[in-house]
Structure 1
Amino acid sequence: MAQPGPHHMPQDEDPASKHKKQQHNNAGPDAHPGGGNARTTGGSPFPEWADIRRSIEQLPPPTFIILAALFGLYIIFSSSQQNQRSAADLSSPVVPSVVTTTIYQQQPSSTPEVVVDHSPKMSTEQTFIAIKPDGVQRGLIGPIVSRFESRGFKLVAIKLVTPGKDHLEAHYADLKEKPFFPGLINYMLSGPICAMIWEGRDAVKTGRTILGATNPLASAPGTIRGDFAIDVGRNVCHGSDSVENAKKEIALWFKDGEAVQWKTAQFDWIYEKP
């Protein structure tokens, strides 16, 4: 059997492949306009850089100079355009794309800062206390005075008086329309009354607590009325029920200058702070 020669094509090779292979084998240096070998990519020839350089070197000197000058002008023009764009970007205002948050600066207030001191303060008050005729007749002036002194209050005025009807009616003016008013006035006119001014912290409120309820039967043991009285018509003593009434009653029962201002030696042992 005859062996296939060097130009013999195998039986399974199609005519199109054979034609393409022959074109590749026949391509030589003259197949490319710039000389040398050329490569194909998708059917389009792209010369190598060496071929381009070789073509440039083969150009006449005037042509080479013109190309070099054009290339230089291109570089200068490109740089100028780039600089102009950069200057335009710098001069144009920048509009932020983020949400702007407004910050309010706190203005200094013209009102001075108020400092609250919660430490105990000396709220000095004066209250009017009267021992009624039944308390004087029973000899209770000493025990009643002792109750207020033992609590820590200071006695600034005391006197034994026998006021008239007008004076007593002025004192009980708020009870004038009550049915028991005439009997109350007659009871207060029946004997001497011990009038006193006591001074200290919350003297009005605490003084009422020391006396007890108006009705002795409703007074707690340990109070003056709870310990020394039974009937509401004989409840031993009287005490101011408010700071305003205390001032009115003191002015009614005492003249200016009768209250003595003095400091007890036990003050620092009774009050922590003045």
Structure 2
Amino acid sequence: MADTERTFVMVKPDGVQRGLIGDVVSRFEDRGLKLVGGKFMQIDQELAEDHYGEHEDKPFFDDLVDFITSGPVFAMVLEGQDAVSQVRTMMGETDPAESAPGTIRGDYGLDLGRNVIHGSDDEDPGANEREISLFFDDDELVDWDQIDETWLYE
């Protein structure tokens, strides 16, 4: 049996402006992932710089910060077995042009800089914890039993 884990996901300003929050959350819930935290918010400069800190020395860093602070976002934490991998697969490739139809970016994205959604990196084992702690305090995450869990997992 796979491990239950939590992962950070964010509908970016372009997804919010296009009214896609509900569609994105529904896709994850339909898959069987459980929402344990959610927050509609405006990211400030400091949080944006912390969030994208690993890209600080790259030429696109300022553009990332400018975009993520350009409008509200919906930050969330999802929980489920292999949640990081499940979310990454459902999101599609970073470049929507390379994303398969049926993925979030494949269905809603057209441009690399406007790819609707962010999810924690599945190749960096500390990314989830770091991003969750940037956006959520422990008391903002809810432990709860989903009534259909026995129908989702053996």
TM-score (normalizing by structure 2): 0.96
Question: Which residue does the alignment assign to 2:135?
Answer: 253
CA RMSD of aligned residues (A): 0.8
Whole-Å separation in 2 of the counterparts to 1:204 and 1:160: 21
Q: Identity of aligned pairs, percent?
A: 51
Q: In structure 1, list runs of 5 or more residues that go unmatched.
A: 1-120
Match of 1:270 in 2: 152
Is structure 2 residue 33 aligned with structure 1 residue 163? no
Q: Is 2:91 aligned against 1:211?
A: yes
Query: What is the distance in 2 between the residues matched to 1:122 and 1:199?
Result: 12
Q: Which amino acid aligns with 1:239?
A: G
State the partner residue of 2:68: 188
Say which of 202, 224, 230 aligns to 2:104. 224
5 Å-filtered alignment, 1:1-274, equals 121-242=1-122, 243-272=125-154
Which whole-Å deviations, capped at 9, do the CAs of 1:8-35 have from their partners, x for residues lacking one? xxxxxxxxxxxxxxxxxxxxxxxxxxxx
Runs of 4+ with >3 A deviation: none
Cα separation, 2, equivalents of 1:177 and 1:185 = 13
* Amino acid of the structure 1 residue aligned with 2:134: L
- How far off its partner does 1:122 sit? 4.5
Alpha-carbon distance, 1:220 to partner: 0.4
Partner in structure 2 of residue 52 of structure 1: none
Aligned length: 152
